[in-house]
Amino acid sequence: MAATSAAVGLRASAVGSGPVRELAVERRHAIVEAVLTGDPQAAIRPGRPMILARARVEAVILRGRRVHVRVPVLLIAADRRWLGLVPSQRVRLNGRTAPPRRAELLAATVFVRGPPVRLGRPSAMQRAAETVRARLRQATERLPPDQRGALPGMVVGDTSRLDPELAEDFRASGLSHLLVVSGANLAIIIGAVLGLCRFAGLGRFHAPLLAVVAVLAFVVVARPEPSVLRATLMGLIGLLALVTGRRRQGLPALGAAVLILVLIDPALARSYGFILSVLATAGLLVLAPPWRDRLRKRLPGPIADALAVAAAAQVAVAPVLVMLSGELGVIAIVANLLAAPAVAPATLLGALAALVALVSMPAARLLVWPAGLAVGWITGIARTTADLPYATIPWRGGGLGAAGLVVAAVAAVLILRNRRLRLTAVAAMAGVLIAVVALRVAAPGWPPPGWTMVACDVGQGDALVLATGRGGSGVVVDTGPDPGLVNGCLERLGVREVPILVLTHPHADHIVGTPGVRQGRAVRMALITPSGFGREARHAHGLTIRPASAGQRWSIGHLTLTIIGPPPTTPRLSPSDDGSALNNASIVLVARSPGFSGLLAGDVEIEAQRALIPSVPRVQVLKVPHHGSRSQDPGFFAAARPSISIVSAGKGNDYGHPSPPTLTLLRNLGTRIHRTDLNGDIAVVRTTTGLSVVTRQSTTRP
């Protein structure tokens, strides 16, 4: 422990000092030379798409002088040409430095300007890996979308074409480990090689050598990154212990592996992925063997083995998963058992197809067809189990949540060991089950009758729907960052016609989902901010587009919309304006229908809120501006005086939305707060006694 603490301390000292950290503290621009250490990943952020990549800075140009360094950084770029790079590529870039936002062992975050300048070629090993991965992607082109996206992920960890909604279903069902390179991949490959060697009559000397060659080939294809090497080592330890039954040797080996890996890469000490790998392996070593032995007394051997492995791994990692997500997965063990028979065929056939694709693409396409069928079974399990009621249940996040789960697990063990306590627990659980079923039967379906407004759960973004009183018709205000999510919300509501589409301002988390609104629906007109610069037009191409202005009034069915912002004095903006300027140019509108009034405030911040206070009427419902950020004016909230406040924010978002001061401000007004990150889709329903709220827990919250 002292050695690992010292290693972490040395790395923290290295990244916390030196020229790169000094530049970051001063937020200065710099020219740097860096080597990519991970695959660039595309991500949606408010305002524009961004490319994220891990890199190691090896030189900084300071006042014309080249200073050699060696520190890790996070690159954030906008140019999509960064996506064409692979790990080990050396590049030169110009960007603005800033301190890292989280407690990671990084020297800086670098906001990159323009495309990368390539300095040489990636390493031969990385070029070979990229060739195999590209050929596998080409071989899967003719598969259905879910299979096409998931198969490369299951084989080599390539999730570049995976549908985000499917990825969320894998997470909710406890199957996300299948989409990353893990020890399970290695175990399947080694098992197949040893089986073939035994079938071919090779002796004990040749079979291990061929297995080692297979491991090396697998590591090359899956990219010899630290995460792959870590998973390989952990998988080998777990497999060795399970095959030999020597748990006593497995635990010291696991401890030694952890020590060595942390000494080599101290950043692993702060990596949740590393912690999950260690815990899962420890679960296989400590919990799986005795559980397997007990289950074999009542179940066939293969079923007992599969159930013991799935349960042990899930139980071991549950406290950390709860701490990170604030959810407890209750369907994961069942989902893993159902998916288990298809994992090996998908992995083996996919790996074989990747190799064959280097020689013959037609033959590779024949191989990926049965592999696709196996993957189709797994994706079907993921989607089905994720959609089940209570596939995940809310649980307190953070350290307290993890500690609470451990206490609950200890209590469960004590109950299982005492007959009277078991009977009492069974009776209590039966009562809870009856109550839950009764509530579910009595609860209204979706959409609830009489809904007037729905805040769609689209992650970190806004998408709201207002009922017009006409069957299948609804006004949509903003469309979120993902077309699939807003389309799914509108399908659930039965919206087939959109008389007015309001795009409050040209930030990606409000307009990128527009194609999803237009999918199979008639959109009559789009309203945009008069201060914008045309970014919305790319998504609203072919629609009648009108600029909104304060004082405009629209009536559709029994719904009336009144525009109160932005003020006429708001200047026209350009793409170079910062995020606050664009937020303050948001369309702000008041919606009214019989028994309902709402203020939809876009992302306006303090300056615009103060200017709008004289125009703000008292309403029943407030869509809290800017996802509940800290930038709020108390007078704006006091003028609206809502009884219901709705915050649209993404679960676990990087911005800390909604901020605690804003939530406190709303509570002090006596308003009821509802959040999409906690409640999913939120419907405001008109009843005989006033307005009420009905929620629908979503399974697609990025």
C-alpha 265/C-alpha 228 separation (Å) is 13
Look at residues 222, 136, 131 and name the one whose alpha carbon lies nearest to residue 183.
222
Residue 394: pLDDT band with limits 50, 70, 90: low
Under DSSP, is residue 679 helix (H, G, I), strand (E, B) or coil? helix
Strand bridging mode 544-547 / 525-528: parallel
Does residue 626 surpass a pLDDT of 50? yes
Does residue 628 surpass a pLDDT of 90? yes
Look at residues 642, 617, 489 and name the one whose alpha carbon lies nearest to residue 562.
617
At residue 702, the pLDDT reads 40
| C-alpha distance from residue 143 to each of 139, 152, 349 (Å) | 9, 12, 14
- Comparison of pLDDT for 270 and 679, the residue scoring more: 679
Give the pLDDT confidence of 527-553 residue by residue, as tens digits: 998 876 567 777 778 888 898 888 899
- Give 384: exposed, middle or buried? Use CB within 10 Å, 0-12, 13-18, 19+: middle
Average pLDDT value for the chain: 81
Give the pLDDT confidence of 440-474 residue by residue, as tens digits: 555 557 888 889 999 999 999 999 999 998 889 99
- Comparison of pLDDT for 564 and 182, the residue scoring more: 564
Residue 641: pLDDT band with limits 50, 70, 90: very high
**Cβ neighbours of 57 (radius 10 Å):** 25
Residue 625 per-residue DSSP state? G
Strand bridging mode 392-394 / 327-329: antiparallel
At residue 442, the pLDDT reads 55
What is the percentage of the chain residues whose pLDDT exceeds 90? 26
The residues, any chain, with a CB within 8 Å of residue 18's CB and separated by 6 or more, are: 69, 71, 107
What ranges make up the beta strands (E) of 445-595?
451-455, 464-467, 474-477, 497-498, 501-503, 522-523, 525-528, 544-547, 553-556, 559-565, 588-593
Task: Please report, as a single letter, which amino acid is at residue 237.
Answer: I
Give the pLDDT confidence of 576-592 residue by residue, as tens digits: 555 678 889 899 999 99
Look at residues 80, 55, 171 and name the one whose alpha carbon lies nearest to residue 153.
171
Look at residues 471, 455, 444, 488 and name the one whose alpha carbon lies nearest to residue 684.
455
C-alpha 62/C-alpha 433 separation (Å) is 67
C-alpha 185/C-alpha 38 separation (Å) is 20
At residue 207, the pLDDT reads 66
At residue 485, the pLDDT reads 92
C-alpha 280/C-alpha 104 separation (Å) is 23
Q: Is the peptide bond before 660 cis (omega within 30 degrees of 0)?
A: no
| C-alpha distance from residue 229 to each of 235, 238, 277 (Å) | 10, 14, 12
- Give 578: exposed, middle or buried? Use CB within 10 Å, 0-12, 13-18, 19+: exposed
The residues, any chain, with a CB within 8 Å of residue 469's CB and separated by 6 or more, are: 557, 558, 559, 593
C-alpha 227/C-alpha 277 separation (Å) is 10
- Give 59: exposed, middle or buried? Use CB within 10 Å, 0-12, 13-18, 19+: middle
| C-alpha distance from residue 393 to each of 330, 409, 593 (Å) | 7, 16, 35
Which tokens sit at 401? 């949540």
At residue 324, the pLDDT reads 65
| C-alpha distance from residue 599 to each of 172, 413, 565, 643 (Å) | 33, 51, 11, 12
At residue 701, the pLDDT reads 43
Which tokens sit at 307? 């159930």
Does residue 259 surpass a pLDDT of 50? yes
| Mean pLDDT comparison of 21-35, 84-98, 326-340, 495-509, highest-scoring range | 495-509
Q: How far apart are the first and last CA of the chain?
A: 36
At residue 332, the pLDDT reads 76
Does residue 12 surpass a pLDDT of 80? no
- What pTM value is reported for the model? 0.59
- Cβ atoms of 455 and 646 closer than 8 Å: yes
Residue 699: pLDDT band with limits 50, 70, 90: very low
Could you tell me how many residues make up the chain? 702
Does residue 215 surpass a pLDDT of 80? no
At residue 618, the pLDDT reads 94
At residue 683, the pLDDT reads 94
- Comparison of pLDDT for 507 and 189, the residue scoring more: 507
Give the pLDDT confidence of 484-498 residue by residue, as tens digits: 899 999 999 999 999
C-alpha 228/C-alpha 155 separation (Å) is 12
Strand bridging mode 522-523 / 501-503: unpaired
